[in-house]
Structure formats: structure tokens, C-alpha cells
Amino acid sequence: MKNFYILLFVFFSITINGQNYYYNGSEKIEIHFSEESYILFEEPSMTVKSGFEKTESFSRKGFFILEKKKKDFSMKEDVEQHKTQISPAYKINSDEDFKMFPTKMVRVKLRKGVEKEELFDILREGNLNGIEEKYGVLRISIKNVDKVLEIANKIYEAGIAEFSIPDFYIPKEVNQVDDPLYPLQFQLHNTGQVIDGVAGVNDIDCNAPEAWEITLGSNITVAVFDQGLEEHDDFEGRLVGGVTPANNGNGEPEVNNETHGMNCA
């Protein structure tokens, strides 16, 4: 098994043209390749799924995360067949658990005075899938994940960009909720759970746990334009008065006991 790991590392080193680094601004960051975690941009086979202790589907983002490869499982054949759509996770330090999964996206901000045509000269090899621009930053979509590091580094090393950074997916433990009904609130965190016989779609939600890692909403007032609200344990006395537009009332639910406003809140 040790020999397989060495072979796998060499294989990936070849497929990404020896690129074992990326640029964070002007800082050159060296990376190591994980031997047990991968990102895959195709539906994994049942054989592949069974070879990992944990698999996650991110259908909206178009990729699958495979983690904790079982010791007796070899991915060599799958890697050779799908090398343009599979990549190991990256690690800043080889002996730590923190992992970054490369997506097929590079974010670039060109230097002042540089035209996009200069960028196209670097991307003309058929690796470009599309470019979007927002707030002065280019989102460059790459066809093959094994080319992402090479392209990002080539753009920065050409001296035409303030930054050229691969876009990473980084798993993160988010706030745990002490609420027995939380698993039913798919709109907050959708894991594909089955509720009333209906299966959800993984990650189709409002990313509430991720938002809670940034802030829990201190000193923020939320206006709900709907049928009105009433006090609830989840509000903990924070509900303020309002107007129900349908009946020009005082913010309480309508007399027909509609609950849409409460559900939205």
C-alpha cells in the first residue's frame, strides 16, 4: 500500500505539470496532495463510493467530495480514466487535517491598464470554459480541474494580474444547533433528508449554518412582508410590532389562521 501511495503522488505531480504551489496575492504557497481525500466532477460509481467512509454530493456546484479513503481501496484505475475531472485535496502542511479542494474556477484581477486580450493569449490552449466579470474580478471557468493550478500560476507569473487565485472548496464545521426540530428545517440546512416522505436536495438551502459562522445577527432587524407573526420560542421576546398589509392590522396572523408569515420568519 505504501508503494501505491508513492505512485499516486507521482502520478498527480505529472498530471498538474509539477505545480505544487499557488499564489495568494504575491505570496507563493506550497501545497501537498492528500492521499485520502478527492474532489470529483462526475458522478462517482458505486465502487468508488464504497471505497470511502464519507461521500458528499454538491449537485448545484457540480462536484462530489470523497473523504477518508479506505486502506484496502485503490483508485489508480479511476484516476487514470478520469484525471481531468478528479483531483486530490490540497494541504498546506502535510501533517495536518486542514484540506482545500480545487474547483474548476480561477479568480483574477488584472492590473490597471491590462486588457483582457492579454489574458486570452494564456488561455488559448482550449482549457477555457467561460469568463464572467463582477466587481472588477474575473471568474474564469476551466474545463479540466487538473489544469487549474497551472493556469492560475501562469496568469500571475505573466505579470498581468494583481492576483490569480484558484477557487477552493473548504469543508468547515459550522455552528451546531440545539433544537430537536432543526433537522426538519431543510430551508436552513438541506442534507437531502426525508421529511414527510419527501426527499430533499442536498445543499438547496439558504446556507444558514455558514452565515452563522460569520455572525449570529446582533443588532439586526429583519422585516417580514407577509401575513403577520406571533410570539414563538425561537423569537425569545425579540418580536416587534408591525402591520399586516392584507388587513392593515397590528402584525398578528390573520384570523383564518394562515401560517405563511410564521413559516417565512
Per-residue pLDDT reduced to its tens digit, 100-150: 999 999 999 999 988 888 888 778 766 788 889 888 899 999 988 988 999
- Does 77 score more than 90 pLDDT? no
Q: By the 8 A CB rule, do 81 and 23 touch?
A: no
Write down the pLDDT at residue 109: 93
Domain boundaries, the chain: 2-169, 173-211, 221-265
pLDDT for res 78: 67
173-186 burial by CB neighbour count: b if 16+ within 10 A, else e?
eeeeeeeeeeeebb
Binning pLDDT at 50, 70 and 90, where does residue 154 land? very high
Confidence of residue 23 (pLDDT cuts 50, 70, 90): very high
Tell me the residue type at 160.
Answer: I
pLDDT in tens, 52-73: 888 888 877 889 998 888 888 8
Q: Do β-strands 63-69 and 52-58 pair in parallel, antiparallel, or remain unpaired?
A: antiparallel
Provide the pLDDT confidence category of residue 245 given band limits of 50, 70 and 90: low
pLDDT at 165: 93
Give burial (CB, 10 Å; 0-12/13-18/19+) of 252. middle
